[in-house]
Structure 1
Amino acid sequence: MKSLLVFAPSRADDEHRRGALERTRWIAEQTLTMLQSEADWTPVPLLDTAATRPGLANAVESGVAGAVFCVHGRRNQNPTLGDDALLGDDGEPALDRDNVAVFAGAWIHAVACRAAEGLGPLAIHAGVECFAGYRGALLVEWSPSELPDPIREVFCRLVVSTTRLLARGERSEVALCRAAQTLADNVESWFLEQPDADSSWILFAQQLARVCLLLPANQASTG
Protein backbone atom coordinates (compact mmCIF):
# COMPACT_ATOMS: atom_id res chain seq x y z
CA MET A 1 0.00 0.00 0.00
CA LYS A 2 1.19 3.50 -0.87
CA SER A 3 0.54 6.51 1.33
CA LEU A 4 -1.14 9.64 -0.04
CA LEU A 5 -0.99 12.79 2.06
CA VAL A 6 -4.09 15.01 1.96
CA PHE A 7 -3.27 18.44 3.41
CA ALA A 8 -6.02 21.01 4.04
CA PRO A 9 -6.01 23.87 6.55
CA SER A 10 -9.22 25.73 7.41
CA ARG A 11 -8.18 28.79 9.42
CA ALA A 12 -7.51 32.26 8.01
CA ASP A 13 -7.37 35.79 9.39
CA ASP A 14 -9.94 37.37 7.07
CA GLU A 15 -13.41 36.23 6.02
CA HIS A 16 -12.64 35.94 2.30
CA ARG A 17 -9.63 33.67 2.79
CA ARG A 18 -11.49 31.66 5.40
CA GLY A 19 -14.34 31.10 2.95
CA ALA A 20 -11.91 29.97 0.27
CA LEU A 21 -10.33 27.49 2.67
CA GLU A 22 -13.74 26.07 3.56
CA ARG A 23 -14.16 25.21 -0.12
CA THR A 24 -10.69 23.74 -0.60
CA ARG A 25 -11.23 21.82 2.65
CA TRP A 26 -14.34 20.35 0.99
CA ILE A 27 -12.19 19.29 -1.98
CA ALA A 28 -9.90 17.49 0.47
CA GLU A 29 -12.92 15.67 1.88
CA GLN A 30 -13.94 14.58 -1.62
CA THR A 31 -10.38 13.37 -2.18
CA LEU A 32 -10.48 11.25 0.97
CA THR A 33 -13.81 9.79 -0.14
CA MET A 34 -12.40 9.01 -3.58
CA LEU A 35 -9.41 7.21 -2.05
CA GLN A 36 -11.75 4.68 -0.46
CA SER A 37 -12.17 3.17 -3.92
CA GLU A 38 -8.44 3.22 -4.74
CA ALA A 39 -7.20 -0.04 -3.27
CA ASP A 40 -3.50 0.72 -3.71
CA TRP A 41 -3.53 3.89 -1.60
CA THR A 42 -3.73 4.63 2.11
CA PRO A 43 -4.78 8.22 2.91
CA VAL A 44 -2.76 10.27 5.38
CA PRO A 45 -5.05 13.20 6.27
CA LEU A 46 -3.58 16.40 7.67
CA LEU A 47 -6.59 18.63 8.20
CA ASP A 48 -7.36 21.85 10.04
CA THR A 49 -4.96 22.53 12.94
CA ALA A 50 -2.84 19.51 11.96
CA ALA A 51 -2.10 21.11 8.58
CA THR A 52 1.09 22.92 9.51
CA ARG A 53 4.78 22.67 8.71
CA PRO A 54 5.58 20.62 11.85
CA GLY A 55 2.58 18.37 11.15
CA LEU A 56 3.83 17.87 7.62
CA ALA A 57 7.32 16.96 8.82
CA ASN A 58 5.91 14.32 11.17
CA ALA A 59 3.57 12.88 8.55
CA VAL A 60 6.25 12.30 5.91
CA GLU A 61 8.74 10.61 8.25
CA SER A 62 7.48 7.17 7.26
CA GLY A 63 7.40 8.16 3.58
CA VAL A 64 4.60 9.08 1.20
CA ALA A 65 4.25 8.38 -2.53
CA GLY A 66 2.00 11.34 -3.29
CA ALA A 67 0.46 14.45 -1.77
CA VAL A 68 -2.54 16.67 -2.38
CA PHE A 69 -2.47 20.21 -1.00
CA CYS A 70 -5.81 22.05 -0.83
CA VAL A 71 -4.50 25.38 0.41
CA HIS A 72 -3.72 29.03 -0.18
CA GLY A 73 -0.69 29.45 -2.44
CA ARG A 74 1.73 32.34 -2.09
CA ARG A 75 3.45 33.52 -5.25
CA ASN A 76 5.85 36.44 -4.74
CA GLN A 77 7.48 38.17 -7.66
CA ASN A 78 9.43 40.23 -5.12
CA PRO A 79 11.84 37.98 -3.17
CA THR A 80 11.83 40.42 -0.24
CA LEU A 81 8.20 39.45 0.45
CA GLY A 82 9.08 35.81 1.10
CA ASP A 83 9.48 32.62 -0.86
CA ASP A 84 6.82 30.92 -2.93
CA ALA A 85 4.93 28.64 -0.59
CA LEU A 86 1.82 26.67 0.25
CA LEU A 87 0.40 27.99 3.52
CA GLY A 88 -0.67 26.01 6.56
CA ASP A 89 -3.42 26.43 9.13
CA ASP A 90 -1.26 28.86 11.10
CA GLY A 91 -0.84 31.12 8.07
CA GLU A 92 2.86 30.24 7.83
CA PRO A 93 4.57 28.43 4.93
CA ALA A 94 3.93 24.70 5.25
CA LEU A 95 5.75 23.80 2.03
CA ASP A 96 8.42 25.91 0.36
CA ARG A 97 11.87 25.68 -1.16
CA ASP A 98 13.43 24.70 2.17
CA ASN A 99 11.40 21.54 2.78
CA VAL A 100 9.88 20.51 -0.56
CA ALA A 101 12.68 17.97 -0.99
CA VAL A 102 10.93 15.72 1.56
CA PHE A 103 8.71 14.78 -1.40
CA ALA A 104 11.61 13.77 -3.65
CA GLY A 105 10.48 10.77 -5.68
CA ALA A 106 6.80 11.45 -4.90
CA TRP A 107 4.18 13.40 -6.83
CA ILE A 108 2.31 16.52 -5.72
CA HIS A 109 -1.04 17.98 -6.75
CA ALA A 110 -1.49 21.52 -5.44
CA VAL A 111 -5.02 22.89 -5.56
CA ALA A 112 -3.74 26.38 -4.81
CA CYS A 113 -3.35 29.72 -6.51
CA ARG A 114 -0.28 30.11 -8.73
CA ALA A 115 1.45 27.00 -7.41
CA ALA A 116 2.57 25.90 -10.88
CA GLU A 117 4.29 29.26 -11.42
CA GLY A 118 6.37 29.40 -8.26
CA LEU A 119 6.69 26.34 -6.06
CA GLY A 120 6.24 23.84 -8.90
CA PRO A 121 9.59 24.45 -10.60
CA LEU A 122 11.33 24.46 -7.20
CA ALA A 123 9.75 21.10 -6.41
CA ILE A 124 10.95 19.54 -9.65
CA HIS A 125 14.45 20.89 -9.03
CA ALA A 126 14.33 19.28 -5.56
CA GLY A 127 13.58 15.83 -7.03
CA VAL A 128 9.79 15.65 -6.89
CA GLU A 129 8.60 13.14 -9.52
CA CYS A 130 5.95 15.47 -10.92
CA PHE A 131 4.01 18.53 -9.80
CA ALA A 132 0.45 19.27 -10.92
CA GLY A 133 -0.80 22.76 -10.25
CA TYR A 134 -2.41 25.86 -11.71
CA ARG A 135 -1.24 29.16 -13.12
CA GLY A 136 -3.01 32.25 -11.84
CA ALA A 137 -5.59 32.54 -9.09
CA LEU A 138 -8.25 29.89 -8.57
CA LEU A 139 -11.70 31.47 -8.17
CA VAL A 140 -13.35 29.59 -5.32
CA GLU A 141 -16.41 31.80 -4.95
CA TRP A 142 -18.91 28.94 -4.80
CA SER A 143 -20.27 27.16 -1.74
CA PRO A 144 -20.47 23.35 -1.43
CA SER A 145 -23.73 23.67 0.49
CA GLU A 146 -25.30 25.29 -2.58
CA LEU A 147 -24.17 22.65 -5.06
CA PRO A 148 -27.34 21.51 -6.86
CA ASP A 149 -28.09 17.81 -6.54
CA PRO A 150 -28.43 17.14 -10.31
CA ILE A 151 -24.82 18.19 -10.95
CA ARG A 152 -23.29 17.19 -7.61
CA GLU A 153 -21.84 13.84 -8.75
CA VAL A 154 -20.18 15.36 -11.82
CA PHE A 155 -18.70 18.27 -9.86
CA CYS A 156 -17.38 15.92 -7.17
CA ARG A 157 -15.77 13.76 -9.86
CA LEU A 158 -14.21 16.88 -11.38
CA VAL A 159 -12.51 18.13 -8.20
CA VAL A 160 -10.78 14.76 -7.71
CA SER A 161 -10.15 13.92 -11.38
CA THR A 162 -6.50 15.00 -11.56
CA THR A 163 -5.61 13.44 -8.21
CA ARG A 164 -7.26 10.15 -9.20
CA LEU A 165 -5.33 9.96 -12.47
CA LEU A 166 -2.02 10.87 -10.85
CA ALA A 167 -2.59 8.15 -8.25
CA ARG A 168 -3.20 5.69 -11.10
CA GLY A 169 0.11 6.63 -12.74
CA GLU A 170 -0.97 9.12 -15.39
CA ARG A 171 1.86 11.49 -16.30
CA SER A 172 0.47 13.21 -19.37
CA GLU A 173 -0.70 16.80 -19.04
CA VAL A 174 -2.85 16.33 -22.13
CA ALA A 175 -4.61 13.35 -20.56
CA LEU A 176 -5.13 15.13 -17.23
CA CYS A 177 -6.60 18.19 -18.96
CA ARG A 178 -8.75 16.11 -21.31
CA ALA A 179 -10.34 14.19 -18.44
CA ALA A 180 -11.02 17.33 -16.41
CA GLN A 181 -12.25 19.22 -19.48
CA THR A 182 -14.94 16.65 -20.22
CA LEU A 183 -16.32 16.98 -16.69
CA ALA A 184 -15.94 20.78 -16.67
CA ASP A 185 -17.90 21.04 -19.92
CA ASN A 186 -20.67 18.95 -18.40
CA VAL A 187 -20.77 21.28 -15.41
CA GLU A 188 -20.87 24.34 -17.66
CA SER A 189 -23.61 22.93 -19.89
CA TRP A 190 -25.83 22.11 -16.94
CA PHE A 191 -25.49 25.53 -15.29
CA LEU A 192 -26.04 27.38 -18.56
CA GLU A 193 -29.39 25.62 -18.91
CA GLN A 194 -30.55 27.07 -15.59
CA PRO A 195 -32.55 30.33 -15.57
CA ASP A 196 -30.24 31.98 -13.00
CA ALA A 197 -26.89 30.41 -13.83
CA ASP A 198 -24.16 30.99 -11.23
CA SER A 199 -20.98 31.59 -13.22
CA SER A 200 -18.70 30.90 -10.22
CA TRP A 201 -19.20 27.14 -10.64
CA ILE A 202 -18.42 27.36 -14.35
CA LEU A 203 -15.30 29.48 -13.88
CA PHE A 204 -13.82 27.17 -11.28
CA ALA A 205 -14.68 24.06 -13.28
CA GLN A 206 -12.91 25.41 -16.35
CA GLN A 207 -9.88 26.43 -14.28
CA LEU A 208 -9.50 22.86 -13.03
CA ALA A 209 -9.41 21.72 -16.65
CA ARG A 210 -6.27 23.79 -17.23
CA VAL A 211 -3.99 21.86 -14.93
CA CYS A 212 -0.27 22.30 -15.54
CA LEU A 213 1.92 19.21 -15.12
CA LEU A 214 5.59 19.84 -14.42
CA LEU A 215 8.07 17.02 -14.98
CA PRO A 216 11.85 16.71 -14.83
CA ALA A 217 13.58 17.90 -18.01
CA ASN A 218 14.55 14.35 -18.96
CA GLN A 219 10.98 13.06 -18.65
CA ALA A 220 8.61 14.18 -21.40
CA SER A 221 4.87 14.31 -20.85
CA THR A 222 3.22 11.92 -23.28
CA GLY A 223 -0.14 12.52 -24.96
Structure 2
Amino acid sequence: MANERITSLQVAKGAGVSQSAVSRVFTPGASASKTTREKVLRAANELGYRPNILARAMITGKSRIIGLVVAYLENQFYPLAVERLSVALQAKGYHVLVFMASQEIEGVEDVMKEILDYQVDGIVLASVSMSSDLATRCNDHGVPVVLFNRDQDDEHMCSVTTDNYQGSREIAAHFAQIGHTRIGYIAGFEGATTQRDRELGFRDA
Protein backbone atom coordinates (compact mmCIF):
# COMPACT_ATOMS: atom_id res chain seq x y z
CA MET A 1 0.00 0.00 0.00
CA ALA A 2 1.23 3.47 -0.89
CA ASN A 3 0.40 4.86 2.57
CA GLU A 4 1.89 1.95 4.52
CA ARG A 5 4.06 3.18 7.37
CA ILE A 6 7.70 2.16 7.06
CA THR A 7 8.97 0.35 10.16
CA SER A 8 12.39 0.23 11.79
CA LEU A 9 12.57 -3.47 10.89
CA GLN A 10 12.34 -2.61 7.19
CA VAL A 11 15.10 -0.03 7.63
CA ALA A 12 17.24 -2.59 9.45
CA LYS A 13 16.85 -5.07 6.57
CA GLY A 14 17.61 -2.38 4.02
CA ALA A 15 20.72 -1.27 5.89
CA GLY A 16 21.87 -4.79 6.73
CA VAL A 17 21.93 -4.10 10.47
CA SER A 18 19.91 -5.11 13.52
CA GLN A 19 16.69 -3.37 14.53
CA SER A 20 18.36 -2.26 17.77
CA ALA A 21 21.07 -0.54 15.70
CA VAL A 22 18.38 1.47 13.92
CA SER A 23 16.93 2.44 17.28
CA ARG A 24 20.34 3.62 18.53
CA VAL A 25 20.89 5.77 15.45
CA PHE A 26 17.62 7.60 16.01
CA THR A 27 18.00 7.89 19.78
CA PRO A 28 19.80 11.10 20.86
CA GLY A 29 22.89 10.29 22.88
CA ALA A 30 22.93 6.57 22.00
CA SER A 31 26.14 5.07 20.59
CA ALA A 32 26.42 3.91 16.99
CA SER A 33 29.46 3.68 14.73
CA LYS A 34 29.86 6.10 11.84
CA THR A 35 29.48 3.28 9.33
CA THR A 36 26.30 1.98 10.94
CA ARG A 37 24.86 5.47 11.18
CA GLU A 38 25.52 6.14 7.49
CA LYS A 39 23.93 2.82 6.45
CA VAL A 40 20.84 3.38 8.57
CA LEU A 41 20.32 7.00 7.51
CA ARG A 42 20.77 6.07 3.85
CA ALA A 43 18.21 3.26 4.09
CA ALA A 44 15.82 5.43 6.09
CA ASN A 45 16.04 8.20 3.50
CA GLU A 46 15.44 5.80 0.61
CA LEU A 47 12.44 4.21 2.33
CA GLY A 48 11.04 7.48 3.69
CA TYR A 49 11.24 6.29 7.29
CA ARG A 50 10.61 8.54 10.28
CA PRO A 51 10.83 7.19 13.85
CA ASN A 52 7.62 7.03 15.87
CA ILE A 53 8.38 9.37 18.75
CA LEU A 54 5.20 8.53 20.66
CA ALA A 55 5.83 4.78 20.47
CA ARG A 56 9.39 5.27 21.70
CA ALA A 57 8.14 7.38 24.60
CA MET A 58 5.78 4.59 25.66
CA ILE A 59 8.65 2.09 25.65
CA THR A 60 11.32 4.22 27.31
CA GLY A 61 9.07 6.32 29.55
CA LYS A 62 10.82 9.41 28.18
CA SER A 63 9.06 11.74 25.74
CA ARG A 64 12.01 14.15 25.35
CA ILE A 65 9.43 16.93 25.49
CA ILE A 66 9.80 19.94 27.80
CA GLY A 67 6.63 21.82 28.66
CA LEU A 68 7.10 25.59 28.66
CA VAL A 69 4.44 27.76 30.31
CA VAL A 70 4.44 31.49 29.58
CA ALA A 71 1.96 34.16 30.68
CA TYR A 72 2.61 36.79 28.03
CA LEU A 73 4.95 37.59 25.16
CA GLU A 74 4.47 41.35 24.91
CA ASN A 75 7.73 41.88 26.78
CA GLN A 76 10.40 41.31 24.11
CA PHE A 77 12.63 39.70 26.71
CA TYR A 78 10.50 36.54 26.68
CA PRO A 79 10.37 35.74 22.94
CA LEU A 80 14.17 35.96 22.86
CA ALA A 81 14.51 33.82 25.99
CA VAL A 82 12.07 31.23 24.62
CA GLU A 83 13.97 31.10 21.33
CA ARG A 84 17.33 30.53 23.01
CA LEU A 85 15.91 27.96 25.41
CA SER A 86 14.31 26.06 22.53
CA VAL A 87 17.53 26.06 20.50
CA ALA A 88 19.56 24.85 23.48
CA LEU A 89 17.10 22.04 24.26
CA GLN A 90 16.87 20.94 20.63
CA ALA A 91 20.66 20.67 20.54
CA LYS A 92 20.28 18.12 23.37
CA GLY A 93 17.58 16.17 21.54
CA TYR A 94 14.58 17.70 23.32
CA HIS A 95 11.54 19.49 21.93
CA VAL A 96 9.60 22.35 23.50
CA LEU A 97 5.83 22.36 23.84
CA VAL A 98 4.58 25.89 24.61
CA PHE A 99 1.46 26.58 26.68
CA MET A 100 -0.04 29.99 27.41
CA ALA A 101 -1.46 30.69 30.87
CA SER A 102 -2.67 33.62 32.92
CA GLN A 103 -0.46 35.01 35.67
CA GLU A 104 -2.92 33.83 38.31
CA ILE A 105 -2.08 30.53 40.02
CA GLU A 106 -5.52 29.11 39.17
CA GLY A 107 -4.89 29.59 35.44
CA VAL A 108 -1.49 27.95 35.71
CA GLU A 109 -2.96 24.97 37.57
CA ASP A 110 -5.33 24.14 34.69
CA VAL A 111 -2.52 24.30 32.15
CA MET A 112 -0.18 22.24 34.32
CA LYS A 113 -2.68 19.40 34.58
CA GLU A 114 -2.91 19.36 30.79
CA ILE A 115 0.88 19.37 30.42
CA LEU A 116 1.24 16.31 32.64
CA ASP A 117 -1.07 14.43 30.26
CA TYR A 118 1.62 14.84 27.58
CA GLN A 119 4.11 12.86 29.68
CA VAL A 120 6.68 15.66 29.52
CA ASP A 121 10.18 15.11 30.89
CA GLY A 122 10.31 18.51 32.57
CA ILE A 123 8.47 21.82 32.95
CA VAL A 124 9.73 25.40 32.73
CA LEU A 125 7.49 28.16 34.10
CA ALA A 126 8.36 31.59 32.67
CA SER A 127 7.13 34.44 34.89
CA VAL A 128 4.35 32.38 36.44
CA SER A 129 4.02 30.56 39.76
CA MET A 130 2.29 27.40 40.91
CA SER A 131 0.88 25.99 44.13
CA SER A 132 2.96 23.82 46.44
CA ASP A 133 0.43 20.98 46.06
CA LEU A 134 0.90 20.89 42.30
CA ALA A 135 4.68 21.13 42.68
CA THR A 136 4.55 18.10 44.96
CA ARG A 137 2.42 16.22 42.43
CA CYS A 138 4.94 16.95 39.66
CA ASN A 139 7.72 15.74 41.92
CA ASP A 140 5.78 12.54 42.66
CA HIS A 141 5.47 11.97 38.89
CA GLY A 142 9.22 12.44 38.51
CA VAL A 143 8.77 15.65 36.51
CA PRO A 144 11.24 18.40 37.51
CA VAL A 145 9.95 21.98 37.55
CA VAL A 146 12.11 25.06 36.96
CA LEU A 147 10.92 28.63 37.47
CA PHE A 148 12.34 31.21 35.07
CA ASN A 149 12.42 34.87 36.15
CA ARG A 150 10.44 33.95 39.26
CA ASP A 151 11.31 32.58 42.68
CA GLN A 152 9.24 30.52 45.06
CA ASP A 153 9.94 29.00 48.47
CA ASP A 154 9.38 25.34 47.60
CA GLU A 155 11.92 22.53 47.86
CA HIS A 156 10.40 20.80 44.82
CA MET A 157 11.22 23.68 42.47
CA CYS A 158 14.41 25.27 41.23
CA SER A 159 14.57 28.80 39.88
CA VAL A 160 16.69 30.74 37.42
CA THR A 161 16.43 34.45 38.07
CA THR A 162 18.41 37.58 38.84
CA ASP A 163 19.01 39.17 42.23
CA ASN A 164 16.12 41.61 41.89
CA TYR A 165 16.45 42.90 45.44
CA GLN A 166 20.12 43.82 45.16
CA GLY A 167 19.78 45.22 41.65
CA SER A 168 16.94 47.54 42.60
CA ARG A 169 18.71 48.61 45.77
CA GLU A 170 21.88 49.54 43.87
CA ILE A 171 19.91 51.54 41.29
CA ALA A 172 18.08 53.54 43.97
CA ALA A 173 21.33 54.08 45.89
CA HIS A 174 23.02 55.36 42.73
CA PHE A 175 20.30 57.96 42.15
CA ALA A 176 20.60 59.09 45.76
CA GLN A 177 24.39 59.34 45.54
CA ILE A 178 24.26 61.67 42.54
CA GLY A 179 21.91 64.02 44.36
CA HIS A 180 18.38 62.98 43.44
CA THR A 181 15.85 63.22 46.28
CA ARG A 182 12.52 62.57 44.55
CA ILE A 183 12.87 59.17 42.92
CA GLY A 184 9.87 57.38 41.43
CA TYR A 185 9.37 53.63 41.24
CA ILE A 186 7.09 52.03 38.61
CA ALA A 187 5.86 48.71 39.97
CA GLY A 188 5.16 45.59 37.95
CA PHE A 189 2.63 42.80 38.47
CA GLU A 190 1.76 42.83 42.18
CA GLY A 191 1.67 39.05 42.49
CA ALA A 192 5.18 38.55 41.12
CA THR A 193 8.17 37.81 43.33
CA THR A 194 10.29 39.92 40.98
CA GLN A 195 8.11 42.96 41.71
CA ARG A 196 8.13 42.23 45.45
CA ASP A 197 11.92 41.94 45.62
CA ARG A 198 12.55 45.01 43.45
CA GLU A 199 10.25 47.20 45.52
CA LEU A 200 11.79 45.94 48.75
CA GLY A 201 15.29 46.66 47.48
CA PHE A 202 14.23 50.13 46.34
CA ARG A 203 12.74 50.95 49.74
CA ASP A 204 15.77 49.60 51.63
CA ALA A 205 18.27 51.70 49.67
- TM-score w.r.t. the length of structure 1 is 0.36
- Answer 1 or 2: which has greater strand percent: 1
Larger Rg: 2
Higher RCO (CA < 8 A, seq sep 6+): 1
